[in-house]
Structure 1
């Protein structure tokens, strides 16, 4: 028989600080078929918004699907363990 001890710890999900998020957009304007033109990945949302502005200016399309991709990591949560005060006992 094998004995096992499990230790449960609390974790949180956080954005991975070693990788920057990526922003992109795709034009979904169109009645029967979406335009489908994509901005490509950018390191900041302003560049994607500028692409959208230029695409709208050139085509009149005004509907886009925006995407934000990032990396996430599980981190061990800091435990806030407080011992009771001697006065409260």
Structure 2
């Protein structure tokens, strides 16, 4: 159906095609030699975020303790959590 606001505009000839993508099956496993990293950022605030950061911690309990301490000092209740881990990709095959 033509666009009534652009009735003078030329029609575009769009080339359509079907693409088939193969999937690469791979498994990922956390590297047992590397510790995961947990971080939190306080995002409490109306005009701008508090911005307090936990720094790099290595257990969820350490992160929870940091959040509890910051909350007790400031009353802030909103945090952004980041969890990073080193992964090892296992062998896979194209399908």
Corresponding position of 2:44? 29
Query: Tell me, which stretches of 5 or more residues in structure 2 are unaligned?
Result: 1-23
Corresponding position of 1:52? 67
TM-score norm. by structure 1 comes to 0.71
Query: Tell me, which stretches of 5 or more residues in structure 1 are unaligned?
Result: 1-8, 78-89
**Are 2:54 and 1:39 aligned?**
yes
- Of 32, 45, 70, the residue aligned with 1:17 is 32
How many residue pairs get matched?
69
Inter-partner Cα distance in structure 2 for 1:19 and 1:56: 30
Taking only aligned residues, the RMSD between alpha carbons, in angstroms, comes to: 1.5
TM-score norm. by structure 2 comes to 0.67
